[in-house]
Amino acid sequence: GLKDIDEQCISRHLYTSGLAEPDLLIRTAGEMRISNFLLWQISYSEFYVTKTLWPDFKKAAMEKAIRAYAKRTRRFGTVKGRELQPKNI
């Protein structure tokens, strides 16, 4: 019944079930929207927006996104100043 539907139940029925949640979401074309892409899975993902169009998104653009991501402090939904520290870096 309805009482059996919880967060884990929904997660098990997504097409991404069993996969890790994305750490980084790259949005091309300068769009400041996610277009309902992986709504359930990206709640704690870091977002990187680039004006580069997808067909032009090459190795250099990917490296730039990864460098920007590497400089960020992941907070996983916490408030600044109360960040979680990863167990393994």
Residue 89: predicted pLDDT = 47
> What is the domain partition of the chain in residue ranges?
21-89
Q: How far is residue 16's CA from residue 85's CA, in Å, rounded to a whole number?
A: 26
Instruction: Locate 30 and state its tokens.
Output: 């300068």
- State the Cα torsion 39-44-50-53 to the nearest 10°: -30
- Map residue 12 onto helix, strand or coil: helix
CB distance 1 to 47 below 8 Å: no
CB distance 33 to 54 below 8 Å: no
pLDDT in tens, the chain (89 residues): 788 899 899 889 998 999 999 999 999 999 898 888 888 899 889 999 999 999 999 999 999 999 999 999 887 777 776 655 666 54
The pTM for the full model equals 0.73
